[in-house]
Amino acid sequence: IIAVAAQRGWGIYQLDVKSAFLHGELMEDVFVEQPKGYEAAGKQHMVYKLHKALYGLEQAPRAWFSRIEAYFMKEGFESSTSEQTLFIKREGGKILIVSIYVDDLLFTGNDEGLLNEFKTSMKKEFDMTDLGKMRYFLGIEVVQKDDGIFICQRKYAAEVIERFGM
């Protein structure tokens, strides 16, 4: 997504999904013990049946991805045949490209209206934080200027040097 955006002079934007895994809907029955200290009086032997995924639950990442993938399909996106987490939406000459990494969405496109429509739609469907133009991602610094997009790991390298007293 960075290469495409840089080549075409587009900006890359970032949304963060709050409590992403809690949006996932379970496809199978999952039961959990009552948390210690929160057992229902007289029902300590009973378990809870989950209706939504929880953090730490083995099925949570898959349930979340299935939920957001279904939403993208409903909104007219196509999934990439070569990258499962990449989605593309085309409307005439307009294009919107979205990449998902766990609970972060990176997106770019050639139409400001389509970008804003996407942000509004996502915020309405999921609890999101708009992080604006991407500046840091997975320890990589991203500098977006008129003459291109530049990435580096200066901050990471400085932390390694400091940690080892060099």
pLDDT digits (tens, 9 = 90+) for 25-68: 656 777 777 778 878 888 888 887 776 656 556 666 777 788 88
pLDDT at 116: 94
Q: What are phi and psi of 12, to 5 degrees?
A: -115, 130
Which run of H or of E encompasses 113? Answer: helix 112-125
pLDDT at 127: 85
pLDDT 10s digits, 91-113: 999 999 999 988 899 999 999 99
| pLDDT range class, residue 148, cuts 50, 70, 90 | confident
Average pLDDT over residues 158-164: 93
d(CA 108, CA 133): 10
Whether residue 24 is predicted with pLDDT greater than 80 in this model: the reply is no
Q: Which residues have a Cβ under 8 Å from the Cβ of 41 and sit 6 or more positions away?
A: none
pLDDT at 149: 85
pLDDT at 17: 84
pLDDT at 35: 79
Q: Which of the 8 DSSP states describes residue 60?
A: H
pLDDT more than 70, % of the chain: 84
Q: Does residue 71 contact residue 125 with C-beta atoms inside 8 Å?
A: yes
pTM over 0.95: no
d(CA 38, CA 17): 28
Q: What is the mean pLDDT of the chain?
A: 84
| pLDDT range class, residue 114, cuts 50, 70, 90 | very high
Q: Which residue has the tokens 């990176």?
A: 106
pLDDT at 103: 82
